[in-house]
Structures are given as C-alpha cells and as structure tokens.
Structure 1
Amino acid sequence: MSKIVLITGSNTGIGLEIVKALAGASKPYTILMGGRTPQKVQDAISTVQKTLPSTSSTFTPIQVDIESDGSIEQAFAEVRSKYGKLDILVNNAGAQFDQQLAAGKLTTLSARDMWNKTWNVNTTGTHILTSTFAPLLLQSADPRLLFITSGTSTLAGTENPAIPVNKVPPKGWPKTGFSVPAYRSAKAGLNMLMREWYRWLKEDGVKVFAISPGYLATGLGGDPDFSKRMGAQDPSSSSAGPFIRSVIEGQRDADVGKVINKDGIQPW
C-alpha cells in the first residue's frame, strides 16, 4: 500500500516541487495536496500529471487554510474518513509579509498586524494543524513529521555577511535595505516548535525534522524577481524537491530532531 503524504501549501513553490519529486519516485505515493484555493490545487495536480504522465502516484486535493481552525478541522475529518491514518505530514505552508508591508502593498495591515499574521501563518497555524493531525500520524507504522523552515532562521548564521539579510545598514534612522525580521523570528520559532514535537512524539516513533531547503525565489514574499536578484534559485531548477523526498524516504534518519539542509545540519 502506498504511503499517504499530506503537504500543505502544495500548489506552488517548494510545496509543488515536493509533489513532483514524490510523483517521480520509483514507488507510488498517495499525495494529499493541501491548499487554500481548490481550483489552484486542481490546476497544480493537472500540471504534475501532464509533466509526469507515467507516475504511479495518486493525487487528492485537500482544501485547508492553516489560519482557520474550522478549515483545519474539516480537512482532518476528510482525511480521517477516507484514509484513517497519515504516514507523512509536510508542514510547508508559510508566508513572508515584511517586504510587502515595506512596499506599501499591505495597506490594510499595521506593523503589529503584519507581525501577528506572520507568526499565525508560519508558526501558530502550523502547530494547530500538526496537533489536529497527530492522531492520524500515530496510526502509521513509519510516521514522519516535517517542518519547512528557512536558512534565515539560524541564530548562528546571523553572523554570516554573505546572507543578504545580515547586511549591516549605515547609522541613522530610518533604516533601509532588505530586512525580514518578522519572518526570520517566526521561522526561528518554528525550529523550536519542531524540537517540541520531536520531544512529544519521540516515544511514539515519529521521526521529526525541520528542513531548510535553500534560498529559493518562491511567491513567499510577493516578489520572486526581487528574490532572484538577491541570489535566490528558481524552485524548479533547485534540488529542494529531491532533497525533501530523500528525507521522507529515510536517507537522513541519522539527523532526526535537527534542522537539516542538503549539505548537513544547519546551525541553531
């Protein structure tokens, strides 16, 4: 029987690359593609099926908005009713609003609202969804729980001047330049959340990881072209999808409970 994988935020960016990587595997997966907008998820499924027409994996759209408890509960009820278990949960859904606020694109949100929304999407909503689906993970013979984090979340890495967000601005006020403090803080919080879930589920045999996929030009911050100018890779040309599949398939089990990237362990 194929393993059942739920991927949130699966219709675009890193989430879609994970789907493609699993669909291209030699063994089949039952891929539950989570997303807020059913039509966008269905369009993504069609894209994968056209790209990989010989795939033996199956795809099921799951409508879920991780900012909504009701939406999470509805998605859980659907998965429980259809499958009764979940083998792998990939918490991929996330968002970065710092740049959009700075550019005046979030006219309905104050700075406080933006910070709260950033944590709600990247950390709080992820925790609530995981809490809801945990009973289904415990029905699996080989359960895995993945949190997609960020290279900008490492505390030790803030000393690295090669990372664009670490550039020190000139003295004076206001400060200008590329800065995403709300997003970085929320993803650092997600790393600690991963550690908590690792502790809670250790005796249940759940393998828990946080995965840092590299600097990718997704729609996360609302401007992929800007990210590319800052040195980000296009997700489709990166190794993010195959790397995350390798974690799902057990190739990084020696690093369970850590924040990992394709090169090793990301410093805390």
Structure 2
Amino acid sequence: MTDKSKTIALVTGASDGIGKEVARQLATKGIHVLLGSRSLEKGQGVVDEFKQKGLEVELLQLDISDDSSVENAVAQVNHRHGRLDILVNNAGIFFDKCPLTELPVEDLAATFNTNVVGTFRVTRSFLPLLRKSEHARIVNVSSGLGSLQHMTDENSPYYQVVMPSYASSKAALNVLTVYLARELKDSGIKVNSVCPGMTATRYVDSPFAHPVEVGAEIPVRYALIDDDGPTGGFFDRNGPHKW
C-alpha cells in the first residue's frame, strides 16, 4: 500500500495531449500519478519519458468505454494503493466532420458512450476508493463548446465552432457534474467541470490555440483545491464559466 501521506491521482486519457500534460504537472508537485491509457504500449512510452525526468508515474491500462477494463483498473488501484484521492476525467473523443443532420447515429452514440457514459462509468466505479480519501477531488474536463450560452450567443467565439455531437456530450457531462456534486456534497468529495480553452493537441490545429501547458493548468488547479474550494461549478482559467 502507498504511504497515506502520498496523494494518489488518476488521469484518464493521459497518453497524449492535455491528459499527458495534466499528469506531468501533477507529478511535478510530488503527486503519485496513475497514467490511464487505453494503449499499454503508448502509455508505457509516456511513463518511461516521465521517469527519465524523475517523475513518479504508474501505468494503468484503462479503456473508459469498456466495463471489464474499468473493473480491472479499480481492482489494481485498490490492491496497490487502497484509495484514490484525485480523479481527472480527461478521456474524450469527437466525430464531428459533417453537419448535424448528416451525422451518422453511430457517431453520436460513440461520442456519448465515451464522453458521458464512459466518464460516468469510471467515476461510479472509482467512487468507493475516492470515499476512502480525506480530501477527494473529481475534475471533469469539459469544454466551452458545451455551454448553452455560448451555443446561442452569436457574438461568442465558440458560436462559429460547429461540433454539435461533441458539444452536446460536454453539456451532458456538465449536468452530471452538477448532480454528482449535489449528491456528494456532504461526503467532502468536490466535483467540478473545467474548460481548458482551445488547446493545441493532435485534434486541434489553429494559430489561436494555446499550448498544452496552458490548457492543463485549469484541471490541475481544481484537482488541488482546498477544502473550502467550490464544488458543482464550471470554470476556466479566468474563473466561473458560462453554463
């Protein structure tokens, strides 16, 4: 079992992009990071890279869309550490490559299966281990595209970014955040959604995108909030975000 003085954090979808950088930033703060990766090979490459830099990380095979994978991951974390202090739900996908009216039903279903159902599957499954922590935190990596106010405001910079499948999944994720926070309020577990902003990853190629180091700042900040910090909110780097 890991020393109780050591904070244990799980980051899903941590083999690249924002998730990888969140894992790196948490590890630099002395946190023992469980690097959730669907691909063992890709995840091991990141673990090796981080360990060469003196960072304490541990590979955890995790496909959030697969019940067996999640159950096995929970069993491993329970056996090795007996608890979980931080869960950063970062893993997500999108298939928006055409107008909504032309979007295959299968693509919409796959998007929700990962971004909403998968995130809920992981959260619900790890909740018993989170309850064993004295200061548990759940951070759901959402998006400004999931804001209903942005979707309907023609002056919003998000208005011109048309990704209805992805956006609707993030709006649904925000709803789960609100209800989880309400239900877990008396337990001390804090649950928040965060918007990293437009971040340069393999999915985003824009001159206006900021680097992953910046995008990862907000998930890390809310993973480490104090006991008097907020719960049930939606935040970006500037503070509360529009729902």
Fold agreement, TM-score > 0.5: yes
Q: TM-score, normalised by structure 1?
A: 0.82
Structure 1 residue 147 corresponds to structure 2 residue 140 = yes
How many residues in Structure 1 have an aligned counterpart in Structure 2? 235
- 1:23 CA displacement: 2.0
Residue of structure 2 in register with 1:224 after alignment: 204
Maintained 8 Å contact 2:10/2:84: yes
Task: Name the SS of the counterpart of 1:224 in structure 2.
Answer: coil
Residue of structure 1 in register with 2:215 after alignment: 240
- 1:128 CA displacement: 1.1
Structure 1 residue 249 corresponds to structure 2 residue 224 = yes
Residue of structure 2 in register with 1:174 after alignment: none
Task: Name the SS of the counterpart of 1:86 in structure 2.
Answer: coil
**d(CA) in 2 for partners of 1:253, 1:117:** 37
Gaps of 5+ in 2: none
State the AA in 1 paired with 2:225.
G
Task: Name the SS of the counterpart of 1:6 in structure 2.
Answer: strand
Residue of structure 1 in register with 2:183 after alignment: 200
For residues 166-208 of structure 1, what are the alpha-carbon distances to aligned partners after superposition, in whole Å with 9 as ceiling and x for unaligned?
Answer: 23xxxxxxxxxx5210000000000000011101211111011
For residues 68-115 of structure 1, what are the alpha-carbon distances to aligned partners after superposition, in whole Å with 9 as ceiling and x for unaligned?
Answer: 11111111111111111100111110011112xx39xxxxxx710000
For residues 195-230 of structure 1, what are the alpha-carbon distances to aligned partners after superposition, in whole Å with 9 as ceiling and x for unaligned?
Answer: 1110121111101111111111223xxx433xx15x
From 85, 88, 100, the counterpart of 1:87: 85
Residue of structure 1 in register with 2:11 after alignment: 7
Task: Name the SS of the counterpart of 1:185 in structure 2.
Answer: helix
CA gap of 1:252–1:141, structure 2 versus 1, over 3 A, is closer
- 1:49 CA displacement: 2.9
State the AA in 2 paired with 1:202.
K
**d(CA) in 2 for partners of 1:81, 1:135:** 13
Pick the structure with greater CA Rg.
1
Q: TM-score, normalised by structure 2?
A: 0.90
Maintained 8 Å contact 1:247/1:253: no
Structure 1 residue 262 corresponds to structure 2 residue 220 = no
Task: Name the SS of the counterpart of 2:216 in structure 1.
Answer: helix
| Overall identity of the aligned pairs, in % | 32
